[in-house]
Amino acid sequence: MAQHYDVIVVGAGTAGIPAAGFAASRGARVLLLDAADRIGGTLFLSGGNMSAGGTRVQTAKGIKDSPDRHYDDIMRISRGSADPTMVRLAVDHAPDTIHWLLDIGFEMLPEMPVINHGHEAYSIARTYWGPKLGLSVLESIEPWLQGFIDSGQVTLQLNTKLAGLRQDTDRNIVGAVIKGPDSVHRVVSADNYVLTTGGYTANRALFPMLNGGHPLYALGSEDSMGDGVLIATGAGGYVRGGEMIMPTFGGVEDPLRPGFYNGGLCNLTPQYRQPWEIYVNREGERFVCEDTDSVDARERALLAQTDLRFWVVFDAAIKEQSPSIIADWPGNPYRGGAPPTSGTIYDTAFDGHPDFFRADSIATLAAQSGIDAVALERTVAAFNDGVRGGADPLGRKHHPLAIQEPPFYAIRNHGTAVKSYAGIAVDDQLRVLDRNDMPIGNLFAAGELIGGGVLTGNSFCGGMSVTPALTFGRLLGESLLQWRRNEAAAAE
């Protein structure tokens, strides 16, 4: 007879690892499955930025903060569009998630916490990360999980995909249909089924269906195919939050992963590099004041642009004299020197990368890159008038040089999907809900599967994916899941 577990966790990523480990720490016999050949999920790619208000790290540095202030900041940034219940659950328990990570050996950079301007800034320094970003998180939780695998509390099965769920007439889940490396389908059972299969940001068909038709510019894990969304809806759950979509500002096709995008290649954050270039849409118009402090303003403006695309336009003088727009991060294949000079690897991008364009006139640049040529010439002329006269049409303050010296350049950027905004509806105990908002028995979900929109509304609040994924996984394992053997033991 097939073994019955107390808990089956599907997806050994950011949320699944703590869910499995904490349940095991309470004595549960856990089956942890992952379709991939390794654990970690999106942590291999993630920035691993975490946010929490009221940590001992802040106290030690004299930073006054609390979950309430974190909550207020999220509601301010999201203009009240985040889900109050889910945000409360996340921020109230976020400090203990940071403390748990530190206790199990998480290496945090000494300058943490900081205010991160890559996303709309919090009012207080409450963002933390390690030297290896998402990998720093994984490197702390993997050995911790390994302890439970070694003790036999957690059985880990890799290369094993959840294909479906079986339900009884009351809709309780009675079995998980899984396909292992031998491609044979098997049914495993448990008291609790926890779906932590991540988002759908690699699924080109599903993404526009769930997000109002917006195109997908993926930069996440190839494994984020939305399996959990499809399987949970098949079991009676429903999807909410698709209208919360907000693209992340910028990203060009990743030469190392064709079809995926690299969000960090161009440095478009004025707090880290003031813009010298202009940003134009397909219609050849500037659509946002490039040096606005607000990431949210840039992202909201991008949401309204055709195909979620824009072009960063500049000339030879700007290319020579400005600090490199190509972000200088290790491993970046188009990393430039600062300032970039002819012959750097940055230049090679203009010789073949599909998002990089160079031409001897603005009109030819526009034709090559798919921008309205007449409008672009007009836009460049108006910008140049502003540079000479000191008054920019959009109120921009930083514009050291006009765009006038050939060759001219354009880098096409895209509104990228760092996370899935829509997700499976759950209640404050992370039980999957049906369309009447009634829990479906023993089916739980956490992580990106429940949708980033509930936690950040139609905005992007930094660290509000990794921290809630870890936190909700932890809460499930630590207290929310109950199993019959446990209840029987408690009754004795």
Ligand X SMILES: Cc1cc2nc3c(=O)[nH]c(=O)nc-3n(C[C@H](O)[C@H](O)[C@H](O)COP(=O)(O)OP(=O)(O)OC[C@H]3O[C@@H](n4cnc5c(N)ncnc54)[C@H](O)[C@@H]3O)c2cc1C
- In the complex, the residues that contact ligand X under the rule CB under 6 A are 10-16, 33-36, 41-43, 45-49, 161-162, 196-198, 219-221, 223-224, 227, 418-419, 447-449, 463-466, 469
Nearer to ligand X, 336 or 463 (CB): 463
CB of 163 to ligand X, least distance (A): 7
- CA-to-CA distance for 492 and 479, rounded, in angstroms? 20
Which of 340, 473 has the CB closer to ligand X? 473
| Nearer residue to ligand X within complex by CB, 167 or 486 | 167
* Residue 492 CB, nearest approach to ligand X (Å): 35
User: CB of 106: closest distance to ligand X in angstroms?
Assistant: 14
- Supply the minimum distance, in Å, between the C-beta of residue 170 and ligand X: 24
Q: Which is nearer to ligand X, 54 or 199 (CB)?
A: 199
The 3-class SS string of the chain reads: CCCEEEEEEECCCCCHHHHHHHHHHCCCCEEEECCCCCCCHHHHCCCCCEECCCCHHHHHCCCCCCHHHHHHHHHHHCCCCCCHHHHHHHHHHHHHHHHHHHHCCCCCCCCCCECCCCCCCCCCCCEECCCCCHHHHHHHHHHHHHHHHHCCCEEEECCCEEEEEEECCCCCEEEEEEECCCCCEEEEEEEEEEECCCCCCCCCCHHHHHCCCCCCCECCCCCCCCHHHHHHHHCCECEECHHHCCCEECCEECCCCCCCEECCCECCCCCCCCCCCEEECCCCCECCCCCCCCHHHHHHHHHCCHHHEEEEEEEHHHHHHCCCCECCCCCCCCCCCCCCCCCCHHHHHCCCCCCEEEECCHHHHHHHHCCCHHHHHHHHHHHHHHHHHCCCCCCCCCCCCCCCCCCEEEEEEEEEECCCCCEECECCCCEEEECCCCEEEEEEECHHHHCCHHHHCCCCCCCCCHHHHHHHHHHHHHHHCCCHHHHHHHHC
In the complex with ligand X, which residue's Cβ is closer, 25 or 157? 157
Shortest reach from residue 402's CB to ligand X, in Å: 35
Nearer residue to ligand X within complex by CB, 191 or 223: 223
Q: Which of 92, 67, 89, 71 is nearest to 80 (CA)?
A: 71
For the bound state, the minimum distance from the C-beta of residue 419 to ligand X, rounded and expressed in Å, comes to 5
Using CB positions, name the residue nearest to ligand X: 13
User: 425 vs 466, which CB is nearer to ligand X?
Assistant: 466
Q: Residue with structure tokens 């099965």? A: 157
In angstroms, give the least distance from the CB of 417 to ligand X: 8
Q: Which is nearer to ligand X, 136 or 379 (CB)?
A: 136
Q: How far is the CB of 255 from ligand X (least distance, A)?
A: 16
Of 268 and 366, which has the nearer Cβ to ligand X?
Answer: 268
| Residue nearer to ligand X on the CB measure, 177 or 297 | 177
Q: Which two tokens stand for residue 143?
A: 């050995």
- Beta carbons of 223 and 229 less than 8 angstroms apart: no
- Rounded to the nearest whole angstrom, what is the least distance from the CB of residue 193 to ligand X in the complex? 12
Closest approach, Cβ 463 to ligand X, in A, equals 5
